[in-house]
Structure 1
Amino acid sequence: MAQPKVDIQIQSGGLGRSTQVADGVAGLVVTGVAATGLALGVAKRLFSLADAEDVGIKSDVPNLLHAWTQINDFFAFAGDGAELWIILIANTTTLVSAVGNSADDSTPLEKLLVAAEGRVNVAGVSMGRAAGYTPSLNQGFDGNVQAAVGAAQMVAEKFYGRYSPVHIILDGSYMDPAGGYINWRQGGTANRVSCFVGTDVAGARVSCMGKLLGRLASIPVQRNIGRVKDGSFMADAYLTSGVSVRSLTLGALNAIHDAGYILPRIHQGIPGVFLSDDPSLVDNNDDFSSISRNRVIGKAVRLTYQTYVLELLDEVEVQANGRISPTKIGYLEGRIENAINQQMVVNGNCSSVDCTIDPRQNILSTDRLEIQLKLIPVGQLKEIVIKLGFTNPALAT
């Protein structure tokens, strides 16, 4: 038997601190060929451009130049140390195949999300093609974009069901405005999917997805990617139609924006190029009609799951009348309010949180507890109206 002693044990949990959630983890499905150290269809986590080059994704490998460029663009925005998951796919892969929904999580996008174990909260698809590629134009873009949007929405919903919310951004490659692109803002239903039609390279027919993901990884979840205070997005701007944004009329650009696509834009008198907005491919009246709103609710989903999974199968005290104990209700409400206040309200991700549990629930019969959790989001200044005119002080007196 050990000698008599005073045993002081440090306990954790008294401060009510919550598990941290990573906001800026991105995923990239990108076309190319197998690298020397990375096979096609295998997900890989990177923390720098050097990590990509270590597995053979280099700028001097012609069939990997596109993938290298997107990765380089990501880390140029997000910085070394940011977390990026990539998966290489053959440059003959269709957009629908890249983002397809399967029963066994076997499509490239699904493989990437599964390998990341729920860490990826925004994923982009970049469809670089081999020289001489002939696009199959349909509804204003290469490939069956409508089918790809539907498939990506199904994948996003599936991973939401696994408490791993993700917003998916598709490459609006080979844009052909004359082809009658879909107006997603009128009847669209893909509120967890967006489409990017901008590039910084003259004549390029695919979007600069790496830049967009890098911007998203470097800003808080509530922030719009087009926020002017964050600085310009790139030096010059083109659409994936191959046309310079500066050559198009304001009316033509507004039409693309109003249809729900993300595109570059110019602010008069401000150097550089910015992004128009952060729309989802959904009707305007949907609560999740923007990437930023999706990222906010996605963070809340992760926090809520991580908070309440610890309470699973725990005992719930009830009073003589069968109602849940007020002490238990206060504890459960306080757990999630504390977590969201610490990680979201304090950081400006949302304005406030309110958790309510009805004590009249018959938990003895159902073993089920319903919790109402409501966030008040932050607003965004999308239109500023200034009434400017002259005044005559003499008339006022």
Structure 2
Amino acid sequence: MSIPDINVNLEDGGLGVVPPNSTGLHVKIGVAAAGPESEIIAISGPSSAKQFGKGPLVRALSDAFAEGTSNMYVIRATADIDGTVSAVEKTGTGTGSVSVSGKPTDEIQVELQIVTSGGLNQATFTLAIDGQAPTAPITVPITGSYELPDSGLTITFTPAGDTPENSFKANDKYAFSATAPQMSTTSLVNALDLVLESEYPYEFIHIVGPSTPAVWTLFDSKLAAVQEDGKFVFGICETRDINKGETIDQYVKAMLDQAANFSSILVSVVTSGISKADFLNGKEDERNPAGIIVGRVAQIPVHRSAGRVLDGALSATELRPAGIKKAHIIALDNARYTTVRRYDGIQGIYCTNFRMMAPTGSDYLYGERTRVMLKAARLVRAAALLQEQNEIPFDDATGNIDFTPMENLLTAALNPMLNAEEITKARVVIKPEQNILAGEPMKAVIRITPRGAYRDMELEIGFENPFGGAN
């Protein structure tokens, strides 16, 4: 017999608190010139991107910041494929030569112009980098070697042996370019495994830099595999840029060929290009639009199209590659790529459609559909997980298993999406005749109705005469 007392039991779950919200949080995987390598780094604001120096990863961060994103995770992958340096193109009459060597830390375009004629330690030159204004004149070093700052490249001036004073003539020009280093498939897999096996909350992964259908297929298989462990995330990739000497029609045809044999409801691939001012350093250059599209996706609700005009134009100034036309964009959109476009009558550049590379007829042709379904999957799994190995309730009146509490639990798990108007309806059905006492899994059918979006409209306009009726 116990002594008299007041017993208070603490009940949990009455407030309907939902699991931590990962909506919009994403991971960027790419190469950069500095910073911790092969680690998951939390980024909050533009200042924290400075630790990575420069490179494709930093540009992608800049683009996300430009769209208003502030919180991300970053993995600086191992850059185990060196960038390439082009041949130097000379215009002028000087008898000397200029060459470039080294491993580029990032893509770069350089125009070197001789200002004062002469040889080593006499001639002067300016540098125009990535289309920016030329530098102040620099004296050709007596050693003949000039390290291009923060580029990994060394410019070597070789004078003419017989007449060194004629080596470099005023107005001579030397132009060259370099590509950024890249990560190999092995490096990418290591980074993907690192983030997919982590406990960090995130909604999607952005692989920064050009990739091929082989990478998209690998990415898709990785994302599908982790669903077995309850991780419901999607991915965004980028295509290559247009090659030097390749026409816009050849480029679009190559992209269509790449898309022809790939499909995935978990992978979006962004193609074509933009020109924009870098958010971090102000330099205008060309790049894949994935960075700004990812930034937009991270800022909007899961059910909303990244192409919604009401959300404003993207932070870009021009469409690229040069010469791209509406017909090209339509072809790429029909091939299930995510692209950017202009509208006649309004200023700015907008996302055409946030596409998934889903097969024809799929429910997941658009990224917002995939986002909605993956969020719903995360919510119902989190709710059901709390009932794992819990006792099965019975109906005292009939002696049968009572699935009503489980139906109510799974339905309530989707209430946050209903309340936020991310979906319009949700229902859960659990058939009563299941023999779970014999060890069979309980099967619940969950159906949600998504929100719609205006995509194509037909507007009929004409005159009418209010006085034209019969007398």
1:11-61: CA deviation from partner (whole Å, max 9, x where unpaired):
4422444334221111101112342xx1x22221222223333xx223xxx
Instruction: Name 2:267's counterpart in structure 1.
Output: 193
Q: Secondary structure at the match of 1:126?
A: strand
Return the match for 1:42 from 17, 36, 39. 39
52 and 251 in structure 1: CA distance in 2 versus 1, 3 angstrom threshold: closer
The amino acid across from 2:316 in the alignment is A
Question: Are residue 154 (structure 1) and residue 211 (structure 2) matched?
Answer: no
Does residue 1:330 correspond to 2:404, yes or no?
yes
8 Å Cα contact 1:29-1:98 kept in structure 2: no
The alpha carbon displacement at 1:311 in A equals 0.2
Output one character per residue of 1:79-116: Cα deviation in whole Å (capped at 9) or x when no partner. Answer: 44x2334333316245644554xxxxxx222212323x
Q: Supply the distance in 2 between the matched residues of 1:209 and 1:196 (Cα, whole angstroms).
A: 6
- CA pair 190-112 structure 1, distance change in 2 beyond 3 A: same
1:159 shift after superposition: 2.1
Aligned partner of 1:57 in structure 2 is 52
- Structure having the larger proportion of residues in strand: 2
Deviation at 1:158, TM superposition (A): 1.3
Instruction: Work out whether 1:78 is the aligned partner of 2:85.
Output: no
Which position in structure 1 is the counterpart of 2:154?
none
Change (3 A) 1:208 1:252: closer
Partner SS for 2:14 = coil
Change (3 A) 1:336 1:87: farther
d(CA) in 2 for partners of 1:91, 1:265: 34
> Residue type matched to 2:61 in 1?
I
Would the aligned equivalents of 1:194 and 1:281 in 2 still touch at CA under 8 Å? yes
Q: How many residue pairs get matched?
A: 353
Shift of 1:389: 1.3
Q: Distance in 1 between matches of 2:388 and 2:372?
A: 25
Unaligned runs of 5+ in 1: 59-63, 101-106, 128-141
Contact 2:316–2:349, Cα closer than 8 Å, also in 1: yes
One-letter identity of the residue aligned with 2:424: S
After TM superposition, the structure 1 = structure 2 runs for residues 286-301 of structure 1, keeping only pairs within 5 Å, are 286-301=362-377
Partner amino acid, structure 2, of 1:306: A
Using the TM superposition, give the Cα deviation of residue 367 of structure 1 relative to its aligned residue in structure 2, in angstroms. 4.4
- For the pair 1:356 / 2:423, whether they are aligned, the reply is no
| Change over 3 Å in CA distance of 1:12–1:363 after alignment to 2 | closer
> CA separation of 1:323/1:8 partners in 2, compared to 1, >3 Å: closer, same or farther?
closer
> Could you say which structure has the higher helix fraction?
1
Correspondence for 2:324 among 228, 237, 248: 248
State the partner residue of 1:270: 346
SS of residue matched to 1:354: strand
- CA–CA distance in structure 2, aligned partners of residues 91 and 206 of structure 1: 22
Judging changes above 3 Å, is the alpha-carbon distance between structure 1 residues 34 and 79 closer, same or farther for their aligned structure 2 residues? closer
Shift of 1:219: 0.5
- Cα distance in structure 2, aligned partners of 1:181 and 1:69: 23
TM-score (norm. length: structure 2) = 0.68
1:295-339 per-residue CA deviation (whole Å, 9 max, x = no partner) reads 1111011101110000000111345877312xxx22111112112
Structure 1 residues 252, 211: CA separation in 2 closer, same or farther (over 3 Å shift)?
closer
The one-letter code of the counterpart of 1:274 is: Y
Distance in 2 between residues matched to 1:204 and 1:97, nearest whole Å:
29
**Cα pair distance change 1:67/1:192, threshold 3 Å:** same
Comparing 17-26 with 280-289, greater Cα deviation is found at 17-26
Note closer, same or farther for the CA distance 1:382–1:229 as it changes in structure 2 (3 Å cut): same
- 1:29 and 2:29 equivalent? yes
Give the superposition deviation at 1:6. Answer: 5.7
Calculate the TM-score normalised by the size of structure 1.
0.80
The answer to whether the 8 A contact 1:30-1:86 is kept is: yes
Q: Which runs of no fewer than 5 residues in structure 2 stay unpaired?
A: 82-181, 244-248, 278-283
Cα deviation, residue 278, structure 1: 0.7
Cα distance in 1 between the residues matched to 2:363 and 2:40 = 32
2:413 to 335, 339, 344: 339
User: Are 1:124 and 1:170, in contact at CA under 8 Å, matched by a contact in 2?
Assistant: yes
What are the superposed Cα offsets for residues 251-292 of structure 1, whole Å, 9 maximum, x if unpaired? 122112211211221011212111110111122311111211
> Counterparts of 1:1-397 in structure 2 under 5 Å?
11-35=11-35, 38=36, 40-53=37-50, 56-58=51-53, 64-80=54-70, 82-90=71-79, 92=81, 93-94=182-183, 96-97=185-186, 99-100=188-189, 107-115=190-198, 117=199, 119-127=201-209, 145-175=212-242, 177-178=249-250, 180-182=254-256, 188-197=262-271, 198-201=273-276, 206-239=287-320, 243-244=321-322, 247-318=323-394, 323-325=400-402, 329-341=403-415, 343-397=416-470
Overall identity of the aligned pairs, in %:
20
Contact 1:323 1:360 in 2 (8 A): no
2:107 alignment partner in structure 1: none
Check conservation: 1:27, 1:123, Cα contact below 8 A: yes
Secondary structure at the residue paired with 2:30? Answer: strand
